[in-house]
Structure 1
Amino acid sequence: MVPGPPHSKACVVLDGDDSCIAFARHWTVDYLTQLKDDHGPAVSERARDLAQLVVSELVTNAYKHAPGPARMELHATGDRLHITVCDSQPVLPSARAADPERVGQHGLEIVAAITDSLDIQPEAGGKCITARLPLTDTPTTTGKAV
């Protein structure tokens, strides 16, 4: 296990326009840069890129399918990044079966494939989706090797 910050958490509310998707990606990079500057864990370039992809997919889904603002939280523990997006849509999504003919609607499949775990939980007034991924490229014993 790579030593990391004791617990580093940040939260932002994303308004309902389409600029929130790009903002969330940039905010994630800023968070990971600050995390490294403050606590010194090795955040790989690959981890940064995957975190941006996960954030982009989850925030895009919230923007497209849920009215009102969404809340995004980034939480680093040890060598893991937890990305949580909560929105006002109470319907819990599920990854669809692979279909090479389908255009779009692959976001949850992508997130599930590139993260260690994906949890979707109902919450009062909506739902929260949490994805976890390693901050480094080092294989671990508590998740998928990367």
Structure 2
Amino acid sequence: MARTFQVGDTFTHVRECDLYRPIYYAGASGDFNPIHIDPEVGKVAGLDGVILQGLCTLGWAVEAVAVFVGDPGRIRKVKARFSRPVRPEDVVTFEGKVTAIEADRLTTEVTATNQRGEAVLKGAVVEASIG
């Protein structure tokens, strides 16, 4: 039986950035920028240590919607603005809300905050097919 969605439906997804996540993501993505893997370079850059690659954070936001709609192959469009770096040991909570349903497309707005309540993504909109 196909799942039905309604405007106003909400979902939550939580991911933890463990100490090695930036290194794992560097290996998977090829993004070996030193600010992601060398704490001293991160400090020199004014980041107080390493930070997670932004595309990993974005990937987690997309994952939140993919889990909600039940299939990562349904994701059609993504946009977001990075507002704060994610650091190792941060716990990021993604909260989404269905804001529109038109024909076979669902639109969600997703917020992402760390354990201190600081926004790490703003203006995230993820669209998925539902038909």
TM-score, normalization: structure 2?
Answer: 0.44
Greater helix fraction, Structure 1 or Structure 2? 1
If you compute each CA radius of gyration, which structure gives the higher value, 1 or 2? 2
Greater strand fraction, Structure 1 or Structure 2? 2
TM-score, normalization: structure 1?
Answer: 0.40
